[in-house]
Amino acid sequence: MNNPVRRTAMAGIVAVAAVALTPGLASAATTGAQTSGVSSRQDDAVTPTYDFVDLPSTPVVADHHAHEFTVTYRNTSRHHVTVAPQILVQSSDTGPFLNPVDVHLQQLNPATGHWHTLRLGTLTGTLYTPIPATGRTLRAGHTLSARYRLTVVSSAPDAARGAVIAPRIVLWQDTTAQQ
């Protein structure tokens, strides 16, 4: 996973994003902070380039309860964009680092109404869902919403006492215009 350089704007795209959590956790709406990065996939003929819109983060305690939240991104530009949500689960500042076995992250399939477990990668205390090979085209003026639930299941004495949900939106850059 790359450590992207922060940018404050991307021409033509203004992100309006929100993360809403179930009772007991704060809800927030904000214009997302934007960062850029390049895929670390070496086997692709063309390496995709991404921008990221960071959404509001929210702390979650290790209470063995599922905490539901919704990630929402509205494309306020005049152009279609290719997007995908990515969930980062960060260790709390008081530590220790999270392991994938410390949390259970699921996403709701709206077509079936069933929850499915998401695989998490890990890097220095941050767990993350992988960036998919392809995103979803989001037309101008349309909104992407995805429902998740996170359970922090740490129970060992030295285990993490909580986590921070830090969702973001992956925006694929159109590199054909640059060639």
Both structure tokens of 57? 């983060």
In the chain, where the domains are located: 13-28+57-166
Which pLDDT value is given to residue 48?
73
Helix (H, G, I), strand (E, B) or coil at 101: helix
- For the entire predicted model, the pTM comes to 0.71
pLDDT for residue 155 = 61
What's the CATH number of domain 13-28+57-166, 3.30.70, 1.10.150, 2.60.40, 1.20.1530? 2.60.40
- 56: tokens are 């509001």
For residue 71, give both structure tokens. Answer: 């990630």
What is the mean pLDDT for each group of 10 consecutive residues in the chain (179 residues)? 32 38 32 46 62 93 90 93 94 78 93 96 89 91 96 67 90 64
| pLDDT at residue number 56 | 94
Strand positions, DSSP E, the chain: 6-7, 15-21, 28-30, 33-38, 49-54, 58-61, 67-75, 81-91, 103-109, 114-117, 121-123, 126-128, 136-138, 143-152, 162-172
pLDDT score at 16: 39
